[in-house]
Every structure is written in C-alpha cells, then in structure tokens.
Amino acid sequence: MSAHDLLMRRALKLAENSFYISDPNPRVGCVIARDGAIIAEGWTQRAGEAHAEIHALQKIDFTCVDADIYVSLEPCSHIGRTGPCVDAIISARPSRVFIAMRDPNPVVNGVGIQKLRSAGIEVVENVCAVESACLNPGFIRRMNGGRPYVRAKIAATLDGKTATQNGKSQWITGHDARADVHKWRARSSVMLTGIGTLLADNPRLNARLDADALQPDKVIVDSKLRTPQTARIFDDDSRVVVATTTQENRNGSLSAEVINCGDGPRVNLDRLVDWFTKQNYNEVFVEAGNILTGAFLEKGLIDELIIYLAPQVMGDVGRGMFGIEGITSLDQVRKFEFSDIRRIGADVRLICVPIDTGIEK
C-alpha cells in the first residue's frame, strides 16, 4: 500500500467520527500532511457547521503551503449551509489534493475538482474510492436520485426464531448486541417499526450510547391509528410520524405527525419509502416484527440485513424472521451474501446484502 493510500485511510477513519452527527450531510474525513507527516486532521461536523476540510484547516490557521490534502470526498464548490471548501483550500495553497471520490451531489460533482485544477493545484482522484463510498451508502443513492438505504435488524435464536408463538420477544440477545444496535440507530436518519411491536414491546426507538449523537426520527406503520399517546416513543422530543391509512389523526388528539400512505386498508410501503425520500433521509433502520420486516423483504426494499443470533433454541413453533408466504421450490429463495460476520458478546452478528437486486452499492 502506498503512503498516499495510508494517509487516505486515516482520512476514512476520521470520517467515522461523523457517523452520528453529520446527517443529512455525508461523513467525510480530511488529513493534511507535509512530507508525509500529518499536520492537521478533520471530519464533518453537524449540518451547518464545518465540513471536514475546514475542520482540519482551522487547526493550522488556514495555510498549508507545500502540503498535501487527503479528503475522502471531493471538496464542495457551492454555497450551502456553509461556504465552499474549495475556496478555503485554494487560499491555503497546498501543492496537491488527493480525493477518494467525486461528490455525487449534482451541484458539486466535478466542479470542485475543476476549480482546484484551474487554481494550479494538482488533484489526484480515486484514492480508496470504494472504501469512501461504503461510508455513505444512503447519501450517495439519494444524490443519484434514489431512495434511502434500508437496513433491517433482526434478533433471533439459533434456530431463527424472533418471538414465542404468543409474541414475547424482548431480550433474546445479550447486552453487547443490544448496545451494538444503538450504534446503528444513531447513524440512521429514521427508525421504523410497526404498531404490533409498539404495543407489545413499547420501545423507545432512540439511540442510547456514550457519544454525541443526533437522534433519528421515528416512524410507526399503524394503519388503524392505534398508537397510544402514552407510548414511550413520545418520551423524548425527537420527531414522531405515524404512517396510516387516514388523514384524520383522531380529531388531533395524537401529538405526532400523521401521514396518509393508505392503499385500501393497509399502509403502502412504496408510498412510505417515497415519503422517506422526500424527507432527505439517508439511512432507514427497520426494527419491526416478522410481518413488517417480511413485507419489506418481499418488496425488495431491504439493502442490508443485520441479524443477531443468540445461542438459544426456541423450537419450531416460535415466530420466524420474515412473515412471508413460504416458497415451494428452491429456485425461488431470496439470496444474500454475507458482508460481515462477527461475535458480539455472547451472540453472533451477521450482515447480509441481497444478491442481484440491481441496487448500486
């Protein structure tokens, strides 16, 4: 691996500091080095605050003559909530800028690079591009005009059971696995569950972890508008939205936004996902029961499965992971591949991505 790759890898690592704070902006890391030695580091702050390059340049008084800048996304060239990073870079006078990937945001895409080159700064593109893209799957798809990136989490026994026959499901997995879930929640723009889980488990659906983190919005799929005002999802002040089949909101008695995604008696998940897209959500985290999770799977709306398996056996009468009609022949099975397998405390975590969906990763 070249010295440039190593410095870009450091920038990619720094981008992880933005995981819980930068939404809806992408997670970006920046390293500034002179003769191969790092002189400043930065990462994307909250929306409206410093971008990664500015966060790094602030530490060296916005000058870096003869130095190299490594940034995991093309520096922006537009005025958004903050000013253009390229202008700050050009006046800092580095000799080279190494970029992992172009910004998919159409108002930037390539323009940042062009401006740097016009100012006489050498630009090297595509340094660790794949690794950079992995940091921002939802942002990239949204900027390319697509829907958000959807993860579904499942906690199950070794034999794939998520609840007893009568729906008891809390605490199948251990403490460490549950703590891990909070990291996924914190990096998500929105949490999604169904009314069945809400009534059975009364989850808070917030991100509880020892780090500065934005709270995800919460959406409940609740076709008959049964969400009780006493539910714990209302305990903090994050945005709660109930997706239902009517606009009525029980005469305004529920202190949540109510959206109509009706399609006859059921909530239409495609309409709900369209609504997610309009909210500029990057990543959606589904933590629901087998029926809603199964419906997402059947519609091909799941981009990643996060499955925690506890070393327990419930037997064949328990509830499964996906409440879908079984298939009759093996060529109809839904295929995934494992992208990560690891032990989390007493449990195992599997991350799977669908094969052949045509979804750009």
- 53 a catalytic residue: yes
Stretch that binds ligand AOF, among 46-54, 176-184, 282-290, 295-303 (CB under 6 A): 46-54
Q: CA-to-CA distance for 205 and 191, rounded, in angstroms?
A: 7
Q: How far is the CB of 210 from ligand AOF (least distance, A)?
A: 24
Could you tell me where the beta strands, DSSP code E, fall in the chain?
29-34, 37-43, 68-71, 96-99, 122-124, 149-157, 190-194, 217-221, 240-244, 257-260, 262-263, 266-267, 283-286, 304-310, 336-344, 347-354
Closest residue (Cβ) to ligand AOF?
80
Q: One symbol per residue from 57 to 76: x for binding ligand AOF (CB under 6 A), - otherwise; what is it?
A: ----------------x-xx
Q: How far is the CB of 214 from ligand AOF (least distance, A)?
A: 14
Cis peptide before 75 (omega within 30 of 0): no
Is 167 an interacting residue with respect to ligand AOF (CB under 6 A)? no
Is 28 an interacting residue with respect to ligand AOF (CB under 6 A)? yes
**HSE-up of residue 111 (Cα within 13 Å, Cβ side):** 13
Q: How far is CA 76 from CA 73, 142, 307, 313, in A?
A: 9, 17, 37, 52
Q: How far is the CB of 57 from Zn ion (least distance, A)?
A: 11
Among 16, 49, 53, 304, the active-site one is 53
Task: Select from 9, 10, 51, 153 the one that contacts Zn ion (CB under 5 A).
Answer: 51
Q: CA-to-CA distance for 244 and 264, rounded, in angstroms?
A: 11
Q: CA-to-CA distance for 314 and 158, rounded, in angstroms?
A: 8
Q: How far is the CB of 327 from Zn ion (least distance, A)?
A: 48
Site for ligand AOF in 81-140 (CB under 6 A): 81-82, 85, 103, 105, 108
Per this entry, what is the length of the chain? 361
Task: Select from 32, 52, 205, 286 the one that contacts ligand AOF (CB under 6 A).
Answer: 52
**330: DSSP letter:** G
Is 10 an interacting residue with respect to Zn ion (CB under 5 A)? no
Q: CA-to-CA distance for 131 and 139, rounded, in angstroms?
A: 14
Q: How far is the CB of 123 from Zn ion (least distance, A)?
A: 15
| C-beta of 26 vs 318, nearer to ligand AOF | 26
Q: How far is the CB of 149 from ligand AOF (least distance, A)?
A: 16
Is 153 an interacting residue with respect to Zn ion (CB under 5 A)? no
Residue 340: CB atoms within 10 Å = 11
Is 86 an interacting residue with respect to Zn ion (CB under 5 A)? no
Q: CA-to-CA distance for 358 and 146, rounded, in angstroms?
A: 12
| C-beta of 32 vs 314, nearer to ligand AOF | 32
DSSP 120-141: T-EEE--SSHHHHHHH-HHHHH
Which residue intervals of 154-216 are DSSP H helices? Answer: 175-187, 195-201
The contact set with ligand AOF (CB under 6 A) reads: 25-26, 28, 44, 47, 51-53, 73, 75-76, 80-82, 85, 103, 105, 108
The contact set with Zn ion (CB under 5 A) reads: 51, 76, 85
Catalytic residues: 53
